Amino acid sequence: MSTVPTLRIGELSRRSGVSPELLRAWERRYGLLKPDRSEGGLRLYTEGDLARVHAMQRHLAAGVAAAEAARLAAMTAADRDEPAAAPPALRAELEAALAAFDEPAANGVLDRLFAATTVDTALRDVIVPYLHELGERWERGDASVAEEHFASGVLRGRLLGLSRDWGRGLGPSCLLACAPGERHDLGLVAFGLALRTRGWRIGYLGADTPVESVISAASVLAPSVVVISSVTSERFEANAAALRELAAAQSLCLGGKGAAAANLDFEVVRLSAGPVEEAERLTQWARRSR
Amino acid sequence: MSTVPTLRIGELSRRSGVSPELLRAWERRYGLLKPDRSEGGLRLYTEGDLARVHAMQRHLAAGVAAAEAARLAAMTAADRDEPAAAPPALRAELEAALAAFDEPAANGVLDRLFAATTVDTALRDVIVPYLHELGERWERGDASVAEEHFASGVLRGRLLGLSRDWGRGLGPSCLLACAPGERHDLGLVAFGLALRTRGWRIGYLGADTPVESVISAASVLAPSVVVISSVTSERFEANAAALRELAAAQSLCLGGKGAAAANLDFEVVRLSAGPVEEAERLTQWARRSR
DNA sequence: AAGCTTCTGTCCAAATTCTGTACAATCAAA
DNA sequence: TTTGATTGTACAGAATTTGGACAGAAGCTT
C-alpha cells in the first residue's frame, strides 16, 4: 500500500477536509500518521495516509472517541497491508506448478498474484516465502537441483521483467551486487524491486561479482548506497579487506542472511531481514540522512 | 535518448506553457531535464523532454509538491518515440549504453530493436554479435567484470521477458541447460527463443546444471530433445560418462562454442554455430525424423 | 552589425509549513 | 458542582519551498 510520499500537509488537508493543525495534532497525540520528511523538514504523505485519515473520519462520524478512532484507523490500515485470502493459496499453487516443471501454470499464478496485489505484497507474502521454503527443502534434500534451477529461471524472468527501467529517475540510487561466489540473486532482485517502488534508482550487477567490479561500477554510477548480498557470512569474511576499503569510500550495506552473522573488523550497516522490510528501513534511513 | 535534440528553451516554453526561467529552475533544483547543449552552450531539448514536462505539470495539477512531482515525472518512462534505426547502429548504441551503465538507455535501444524487427533478427544481428564482442573484449581485458555483469543483467531481463510461456503449446519440446560449471546462459536463452519462434516448447534449467538434474527434469518433461550448452569443451569432457548415459536415454545435443571441440567417445549432435542458425537446423532435423 | 534569444548567477517575495505553546469547549468522574 | 482529561483550534515567529525578476555576458539569425 505504500506509494511514494509526495503530498504535503496542505494537499492532504484539502483532500481530506481535515485542517493541517488537526492533522499534526493527530500525529503528535496518537501517531496516526508517520509521514516522511522533505529535505527541509516538511511532511510528505502518501495516498495510503489519505486512506488512513478517511478511516479516522469514518470512525469519528460513528461516534468513536478520537483516541480510539485513531487506534482503529491504524488497525484497518494494517489489515489492508496484509490482504487475506489470496496470497497463501497462491503460494501453494505456485509451489505445485514449479515442482511439476509447469511454466505456463506458474506464470498463470504469478499473473493472478500481480494482478491482485502490489509488488510489495507479492514479494513479501508469496515470492520471498516461497524462496525461503525452497531453500529449506533444498537443505533437507527434499527439493531437487532441477526443481531449484527451473523455479529460479521462471521467477528470475518475471522479476527481471518488473525491473524494467529501474535505473531511471531522480531518487537516491542504489548499486546492487552479490558477493563474490554468491549465486543466489533472486533475493537481491526482490530487494531492488522493493526499493524501486519507494522511488530509488537501481543499478544491478547480479550474482558473483568481484568487489573490485563493484568499486569500478560505483565510480561510474556514483550511487547513494552500495548493497552487497550473500546468504553465507563466509563470502563477506573472505573479502573483508576489499569490503572495508569499499566501506571507506562509499555508503555500504551488507544484505542477505549472511550479513547478520558475518564477523568483520569494521562497522557496516547490515540488512538481514526480508527484502521488503529492509528496503523500507533503508529508505527511512536515506531520508533522514540526506 | 529520444529524437534529435533540437528544441531551444523558448520553443519548449511555448509548447509546454512553462516559462524559460522555471524550466531552468526545475533543471537546476530537481534535475528534471538534462538537455544537450549547442556548441555555444544553448540548451537543446527533445520531444521526450516535452513529455516529461507535461508529466511534471500533471503531477503539479494533482497537488503534488514540485520536488516530488519532478521525481515522479522522471520515473515515468513516457518519453519514447524513436525513429527506426538500422541494426548495426543499434548495436553500437546498445554497446555504448551498457558500457555507461545506463539501463534506461539500453532498454530504449532494445525497445526500438524489438519494435523494428523480428526476434530472430534481433538475436542474430544485434544481441548475439554484441555478446560475442563483449566476450572478446573481456578476453582481451578491454571489458570490465562490472560491465559484463551489468550488461548480462539487463539482457537477461529482456530475453527472459520474451521467454514468457515458452513452455506452453503443442510443438516438439526441448529441455535446455548449461553444463555443470557453465555460467554463460544468455546464448542458451537466445537459442530457446529462436526455437520458440519455430513452434517448440521450451523447458529451461539455466546455468550450471548437474547432468543428473537434467536427467531428473527430463523424466518429468519427456522432451523431444535435450540440449546442453557450454562455451568450453572441458565442461563436456569432464562429464562425458554422465552425458553418454543421457545420450543413450534421450535425444541429446550439445551446444555452444565448446560443443565443436569437445573430445568425446560417443556420437552426439553438436550445435556450435549461432543460436538462430542452430535453432533452424534443429527444427529441420526434428521435421525429418518425425 | 542589429536585434532577439539564451546564458549564469543572484536576489526576492508570496505561500506554505514548521515547532511550540496556549486556549476554549466538551465530557466523564469525583 | 468541581476537577481533570480530551480534543479541536489558534497564533507567533522561524524556516522552507517555489515561482519569478534582473543584470551583464554571450550565442544566434538575418
Instruction: Say yes or no to pLDDT of B84 above 60.
Output: no
Residue B245: per-residue pLDDT: 93
Residue of A170, A221, A250 best to disrupt the B interface, most CBs of B under 10 A: A170
The whole-model pTM stands at 0.82
What values do phi and psi take at B69, rounded to 5?
A: -60, -40
Check: CB of residue A216 under 8 Å from CB of residue B144: yes
Q: How confident is the model at residue B192 (pLDDT cuts 50, 70, 90)?
A: very high
Whole-angstrom Cα Rg for chain A: 21
CA dist B95 and B79 (Å) reads 21
Residue B13: per-residue pLDDT: 94
Chain D bases near protein Cβ (<7 Å):
6-11, 15-22, 26-28
Give me the CA A65–C1' D1 separation in Å, rounded: 25
Residue B81: per-residue pLDDT: 45
* Candidates A6, A156, A163; nearest CB to B72: A6
CA nearest to B75, candidates A279, A129, A198? A198
Residue A288: per-residue pLDDT: 61
CA dist A67 and A60 (Å) reads 10
Average pLDDT, chain A: 90
Mean pLDDT to the nearest integer, A82-91: 66
Q: How far is B189 from chain A (nearest CA, A)?
A: 10
Q: How far is B76 from chain A (nearest CA, A)?
A: 8
| Interface size, chain A vs chain B, as Cβ–Cβ contacts under 8 Å | 166
Instruction: Say yes or no to pLDDT of B280 above 60.
Output: yes
Chain A residues near residue B183 by CB distance under 8 angstroms: 208
> Pairing between strand B36-37 and B43-44?
antiparallel
Residue of A205, A208, A224, A229 best to disrupt the B interface, most CBs of B under 10 A: A205
- Name the more confident of A5 and A274: A274
Chain B residues near residue A203 by CB distance under 8 angstroms: 101, 103, 150
Instruction: Say yes or no to pLDDT of A79 above 70.
Output: no
Instruction: Say yes or no to pLDDT of A273 above 50.
Output: yes
The answer to whether strand C lies under 7 Å from the CB of residue B11 is: yes
Judged by C1' against the alpha carbon of A43, the nearest nucleotide is C17
* CA atoms in the 13 A half-sphere facing the CB of B129: 14
Q: How far is A72 from chain B (nearest CA, A)?
A: 28
Q: Which helix (H) or strand (E) holds B228?
A: strand B225-229
Mean pLDDT to the nearest integer, A63-77: 83
* pLDDT tens-digit readout, B118-139: 899 999 999 999 999 999 999 8
Check: CB of residue B156 under 8 Å from CB of residue B100: no
| Region of poorest pLDDT, from A70-79, A104-113, B253-262, B269-278 | A70-79
Judged by C1' against the alpha carbon of B40, the nearest nucleotide is D27
Instruction: Say yes or no to pLDDT of A18 above 60.
Output: yes
Judged by C1' against the alpha carbon of A67, the nearest nucleotide is D6
Mean pLDDT to the nearest integer, A18-45: 92
* Candidates A39, A170, A206; nearest CB to B71: A170
Give me the CA B26–C1' D22 separation in Å, rounded: 19
CA dist A226 and A229 (Å) reads 10
* Candidates A161, A183, A204; nearest CB to B161: A161
The strand order across the sheet containing B252-255 reads B201-206, B173-178, B225-229, B252-255, B269-271
User: Would you call A170 and B210 a contact, using CB atoms and an 8 Å cutoff?
Assistant: no
CA dist B46 and B202 (Å) reads 42
| Region of poorest pLDDT, from A21-35, A157-171, B64-78, B265-279 | B64-78
Residue B288: per-residue pLDDT: 77
User: Would you call A6 and B104 a contact, using CB atoms and an 8 Å cutoff?
Assistant: no
CA nearest to A176, candidates A102, A137, A139, A229? A229
Percent of the residues in chain B that have a pLDDT greater than 90, as a whole number: 71
CA dist A283 and A199 (Å) reads 9
Percent of the residues in chain A that have a pLDDT greater than 90, as a whole number: 67
Instruction: Say yes or no to pLDDT of A81 above 50.
Output: no
| Closest protein CA to C1' of nucleotide D10, residue | A21
* pLDDT tens-digit readout, A126-145: 999 999 999 999 989 888 99
Q: Is A272 helix (H, G, I), strand (E, B) or coil?
A: coil
CA dist B150 and B163 (Å) reads 20
Q: Count of residues for chain B? A: 290
User: Would you call A205 and B153 a contact, using CB atoms and an 8 Å cutoff?
Assistant: yes
Q: How confident is the model at residue B82 (pLDDT cuts 50, 70, 90)?
A: very low
Q: Is B206 helix (H, G, I), strand (E, B) or coil?
A: strand
| Closest protein CA to C1' of nucleotide C17, residue | A42
Strand D-proximal protein residues, Cβ less than 7 Å: A 19, 21-22, 25-26, 29, 38-42, 60, 65-68; B 18-19, 21-22, 25-26, 29, 38-42, 60, 65-68
User: What is Dmax (Cα atoms) for chain B?
Assistant: 76
